[in-house]
Structures are given as structure tokens and as C-alpha cells.
Structure 1
Amino acid sequence: MVVLGILALAALAGWLYLASGHGGFWRTGPGLPDGGADPPEWPDVVAVVPARDEAAVLPETLPTLLAQEYPGDFRVVLVDDGSTDGTAETAGRLATERLLIVPAAERPDGWAGKVWAMSEGVRAAGGPEFLLFTDADIAYGPGALKKLVRAATTGERDLVSQMATLRTHTAWERLIVPAFVYFFAQLYPFRRVSRDGARTAAAAGGCVLVRRAVLDRAGGLGRIRGALIDDVALGRLVKRSGGRCRLDLSRDVTSRRPYPRLADLWTMVARSAYDQLRYSPPLLAATVVALLLIYAVPPAATLAGLAALALGGGARAALAAGALAWTIMTLTYVPMLRFYGLSPLRAPALPLVALMYAAMTVDSARRHYTGKGTPWKGRTPAKRSPTPS
């Protein structure tokens, strides 16, 4: 019980820091403003939509992008990345004069599939002032594009990214999706991403508006050609080249991709979790230990302390530290649950979801070392060696 008490105190120290000193990662606002001053002249924007086997979702999403009211010149380039389900034909039936459909050329060695498709879209885009990289499953609310461009121009930002609201229609989605966004914000606190001079850099790949000149100055997409987590890599590329970034949660940008089964969500996380850790066994071990300490120890110490007290033992330190850490954890998760319209009563179960994420991360490494990878859209990423930090 002494060891558990020490671990509970360590977990409590961790949560005191996370809640008060980690960029307010748990806050879900304020998001992009609805109004504000318009730019003197609205810049040209080209949206680049990499699409591989997206025929089922395009009728729900592509029309919302094409219908954006925008005072400047706005075009959409959809890159058909070797689809076998009639993606290009489906897009063609939805086309307006704004849409250009281009087939991706054969992918060179060393390029991740999505990044290559993005690059092909940039090649076809011409010379707009801004590029909007967006996924085929992303739908846009009215006025969303104007808000993005206004934030970039009047706020003098070189990259503006919106974390899309994900689907929470099924029981598994409601359990895992809000925690997925919560953990992402914990890794990359949005306020730190948006703060000039802060080292934290990221973006959310479903919606990334970037200045073309800044992207070119940073070396272009070729600098991140092999990235599986292309959004974070793009955010780092822009910020580390001196660009100013902004990242927010959004209700105007929504994902229509369903994840009805646990297996679907498991694949989503396991596909890139070990890549996030740079294929490093020490980082994997440290991540699992940190997840256990921060998320598993507080409820374990609380329950063990209550049991010891019921049996007449002395475990007040473990109980107090564990219960306080669990309470702080719960309170920081409530805003994300409310953002998704879910009951705050779900918040105390966050440790169980964290243990599932730890298992997904370990499984991601297992798939890597067994050479299986995690197939995505019919492709399996090549096995990689650890990358230095």
C-alpha cells in the first residue's frame, strides 16, 4: 500500500500540472469567431481533396464544400488516388464549375499515399494564395470557408486548422471518439500550437488552410513525403519554418466517416500510433508506463484505499491522492463530453478508455514488428526503422 500511495501522489502531481500548466488542453473553446473584419481583398483559395475509395461518403460531403459562399476565387481539386469503387465517377456526378478531378500519377518510392495525392493536388492547383487540405469525409457548414480565411488574413496566420467534430452515433463511437480528441489535445494543446514561440506544433488533417508561399518556403510537401500522420507533420513543417499557426475545435467542420464497430476504431488508432512514437521501443515503454501512472493508478489507489479502510487498515494517503487525481481527471474530461453532447456521468470511466488506447498502441507496435502493418484503404505501410527525435 505504501508503493501505491507513492504512485498515487506521483499521479496527483501529474494531474495538477496537466490541469493548470499544460496549455489548458482540456478547454474546448473558443473556436474561430463568427464575425470580425473582412480582408480588404479575399485571396484565391484552392481546396485539395485526396480521395481513395470514397464513393460512399462523397455525396454527403463534396456538395457542402462546393457550395461554400466565398467572395474571392475558390476552386476544388479532387485527386482520385487509385480508387476502385468509382470515386471519380461519383465526384463527376456532383461536380460544379468549381471542381477539377485529377487522377494521381503512380506513387514514387518513399511517399505515403495520402501525402502523394496531396502533392498531386497542389501540382494541379496553380498558384493560389491559400491551399485548403481537406479529407473526403469532411463536410462544411455554411460560411466555414470565410471564417477560415478571415482568421488567416486578419489574424496574420500562415496555417489555420480545424479539428472536425467526429461521429458519435454508435455506442463504441460515443465511448472512444471524445477520448480520442481529448488525448490529441493533451498531446498537442491547441493554445500552445497557436502561441508564437511555443515548440508545440500540429494540425488536424481534415481541415488545414495554409499559405502557399509559406509551404513552398518550408520546402513543400516533399519534406514530409513519408509521413503517416501528415497533419501533425505539416503543422510542424510550417511552424518550424517560422509560420504562425492556429488550431481549434470546430462545429462547422464535421466528419461523416462512420466507425460502427470497435474494430474500426481500433484500426484508426493502431494505424499510426507507433509511427507517432517514431517506432521507438523506449518511447513505447515510456508511453505505456505514463498511461498507467496517470490514468490507471488514481482509480486503483482510490478503490484499494476504500477497501483497506473498510477492513480497518490505514491507507488514507493513497485514498486521498488517488481520489483527488481521479477527480481532476474527471473534471478535465467533462468539457469534451459536453462538446459532443454526452453526459458528464461518462467522465469517471476515462481510465478504462485510456487502457484501451494503451492496448491499441501496443498492438500498433506488434503489427509493425510482425510485418503486418495496419492496412488502410487497401494499402499497408512499409516497415520502418526507429527515427531519431
Structure 2
Amino acid sequence: MLASSWISLLLIVALLLALSWVLLYLGKLNSAAANAPRLLVKTPDDPSCSPTKISVIIPAYNEADNIEACMLAVLESSDWSADWLDVWVVDDQSTDNTLAIAQNLQTTLANPCLQVIAGKPRPVGETWVGKNWACVQAVQQAKGEFLLFLDADVRLKPGAISTALEFVQRSQIDLLTCWPTLVCGCLAEWLAQPLIAGILAAGLDFAQINDSQSETVFAVGPFMLFRRTAYEQIGGHQAVGSQVVEDVELARLIKQKGLTLHCGLGHELGTLRMYPSGSALWEGWTKNWYLGSQRNLGLTLQTALLIFWICTLPWLSAIGLLIKGSLTGFTPLDGIAIALALASILLQYPIRRAIAQLSAIPPHYWWLTGLGGAFVTAIILGSIIKTETGWGWTWRGRSLKEARS
């Protein structure tokens, strides 16, 4: 009986900590949602508003399911002529039908803005990972004074290009990067993506990121708009060819050169479905997470612990205590612990509402937050193991071991 009481007291302490962290986390999310800069589509889709040429570059590796819709969305987002816009699709030696689909669409549309490149093999003896080599090949041919790099899973909305370009020119920005609306489809996405978006939002300070005097950096790889002169000054993707998390490294170079970085929310500019399956989500986030923390083991483990404590521990405690009570009866200490667990669980809904303001992911399935927390914890721990050992560290089947150094 004494041992049982001690266990109950320890659980109460743990749940008090969980409730405290839940409240702190909710406060950080609400603050981030209130202060996050947002790009709103206001500008008419008229190139005369921003008299300069922009090149849209879409690197693609095994994107047969995405590439056509992405290309069409870019072309339909603007009616600019080839004098103002060129679109470059680079097939990065895909093993599926990506190149054939892109070439077929180019032939069908016969749009002078659109160019499709069959990418060359990566240079022998050099380390190139991710989309970096594909981007380098496109930039060599692109004509724009501004370079917009998009992932194939982005779908631009009408007015997106003119809005982003006008904002960059008006605000004298060298790199604009923003979060499109995040889209979830499968259950794994609903479990993990809102929580991951929440972790990033709570841990990042947009004001610091956008302060040229601060060393804080962040970037959203699927949407990065560079002033070409700035891109060339930092060495472009050539300078980060061996970097897995190349977007953050490019942003870091921008700040190191004294150039201006702006990061914000671009929900009106487009949508983004990052990973359409559980396996793709696992591969993608375990690829990026630990490197994104600059291999900071302490910070990464702390993040895993906090997300488990905030999201999963209350559910495990409530379910465990209810089962115990139904079998052996409830004690007063059990009642206190259950009340604390339920308080934390009920606060998970406003947490998801706050995350929705930052990611545009609706708070569906919020009642699976406990399961989602366990999944995200596993992703974070898996990322540490993969990155440090190279075991199973891949992206779309390509090994990343050579990028570990």
C-alpha cells in the first residue's frame, strides 16, 4: 500500500509538470499565432506592378504523382508572358515516369514559359545530396532576376507569384521563405504534422528570424524566393551541395553575408502536402529533424521528452488509472491524478486550434494527440539514430550516408 501511494504521488507530480508545460506551450503557440507575419494576396496579377523577370525552378526526383499538378498550378497562378516568367522543371535522374510526364505536358501546352530539363548525373567524386544538383542545373539556364524554388508537392494559388515578388521588392528582401497551407490526407499525417508544426512554431521566433542582426535562422525549403544577386553572392546551391537540410543552410549564408531574410506564413499563396503516406512521412522527418537542430543532442532529446510528456503521458495516465480503478478501486490520490490528466487532455484541443492558425491544419482528430505524441517522439529518436549511424538514412531510396560528415 505504501509503495502504491508513493507511485501515485510521483504520478501526480509528473502530471502537474505536464499540465504546467501544456499551459506554457499553449501560451507560446498563441503568441506565435498573434505575431507571425502573413503574406496576403492583394496585388493584381500584373507584371507591370513588379517590372522584372522571375524564374520558377522545380527540382523533381520520383515525383510522378505530383509533377503535372505542380506545373499546372504554377502556370495557372499567373498569366504572365515569357517576358516576365520562365518555369524550369529539372528531372533529377528519376527512376519513375516523372520526366516523361513533364515532357508530355510541355508538348501538350506548348507554353513558351515552360522548360523541362533532363538532369545530368551527379559529378563523380563530389558529394551532392537532395535537390541541390538539380537546382544548380536549372539556375545555369534560368533568366530571371528573381529565383523562386518550389518543391513538386506545392500547389500555388492565383496571384501567388506577383504577391511574393511585390513584397520582396517593396521590402528590399533578399530571401523570402514561407509556409504554405499544410494539407493532411492519411492518418499518419493527421497524427504527426500538426504536432510537428506546433513544435516548430513554438520554438521559432519570427521576429528574431527576420532580424538581420540576429543569428536565428529558419527556412521553408518548399517555397524560397531569392533575389538573384543575393543567391549568387552566397554561392547558391553549389555552396550547400553536401547539406541535407539545405534550406536552413542557405538562410544561414544569407544572414552571414549581411543580407535580408524574411520568413512568414503564406497560406494564401499555396498549399503543401509534404508526405502522402506514413512511410514517406517517417523517411522525410527522420531525414531532417536531427540535422535541423544542428545535431544538438541535448535539445533534440529534450524536445522528444517534452512532446511525449505533454501529448502522451496524460492519456497513458488517465487510461492506466481508469483500468486500475475498475479492477482494484480508486483512491483519493488516483482521483487527483485523473483530474490532472483530464485537464491536460482537454487543453489539447485549444492547442490544436492554435496550431491551426499557424499551419492551417484543422483540429481534426485532436483526440488522437496521445498517439500522435508517441509517433512524433519515435520520429525524433529515429532521426538521431539514423543520422549518427547512417542506418536506413535515405531519401526516396537514395542513401544519405555520404552526407554524415
Which TM-score bucket, shorter chain as reference? 0.7 to 0.9
Larger radius of gyration: 2
- Aligned residue number for residue 5 of structure 2: none
Aligned counterparts of 2:153 and 2:373: Cα–Cα separation in 1: 26
Higher helix share: 2
Contact in 1 for aligned 2:60/2:98 (Cα 8 Å): yes
Find the residue that maps to 2:180 and give its secondary structure: strand
- Aligned residue number for residue 396 of structure 2: 377
Find the residue that maps to 1:245 and give its secondary structure: strand
Match of 2:68 among 44, 51, 59: 59
Alignment size in residue pairs:
383
Aligned counterparts of 2:116 and 2:133: Cα–Cα separation in 1: 15
Aligned counterparts of 2:28 and 2:297: Cα–Cα separation in 1: 28
- Aligned residue number for residue 44 of structure 1: 53
- Aligned residue number for residue 270 of structure 2: 253
State the shift of 1:134 in Å. 0.6
Name the % identity: 24
- Aligned residue number for residue 307 of structure 2: 291
Map residues 64-143 of structure 1 onto 2, 5 A cutoff.
64-67=73-76, 68-70=78-80, 73-95=84-106, 96-108=111-123, 109-126=126-143, 128-143=144-159
Map residues 1-389 of structure 1 onto 2, 5 A cutoff.
1-21=8-28, 24-26=31-33, 31-35=38-42, 41-67=50-76, 68-70=78-80, 73-95=84-106, 96-108=111-123, 109-126=126-143, 128-190=144-206, 192-195=208-211, 197-242=213-258, 243-255=260-272, 259=276, 261-279=277-295, 281-300=297-316, 311-314=330-333, 322-337=341-356, 342=362, 344=363, 346-368=365-387, 371-382=390-401
Distance 1:136 1:179, change over 3 A: same
Aligned counterparts of 1:20 and 1:198: Cα–Cα separation in 2: 23
Distance 1:56 1:314, change over 3 A: closer
- Normalising to structure 2: TM-score of the pair? 0.79
Q: State the Cα deviation string for residues 102-144 of structure 1 (Å, max 9, x = none).
A: 3333324222131121122222224x32110111232212111
**Root-mean-square deviation (CA), in Å?**
3.5
Distance 1:171 1:286, change over 3 A: closer
Distance 1:257 1:351, change over 3 A: closer
Q: State the Cα deviation string for residues 263-316 of structure 1 (Å, max 9, x = none).
A: 2322222232333344455454333323333333444566678878x7232367
Contact in 1 for aligned 2:37/2:206 (Cα 8 Å): no
Q: State the Cα deviation string for residues 340-383 of structure 1 (Å, max 9, x = none).
A: 574x4632432321210111222333444554333323311015
Letter in 2 for 1:81: D
Aligned counterparts of 1:257 and 1:21: Cα–Cα separation in 2: 25
The farther-off stretch of 12-21 and 112-121 is 12-21
Find the residue that maps to 1:94 and give its secondary structure: helix
Contact in 1 for aligned 2:275/2:281 (Cα 8 Å): no
- Normalising to structure 1: TM-score of the pair? 0.82
Distance 1:355 1:57, change over 3 A: same
Q: Which runs of 5+ in 2 are unaligned?
A: 1-7
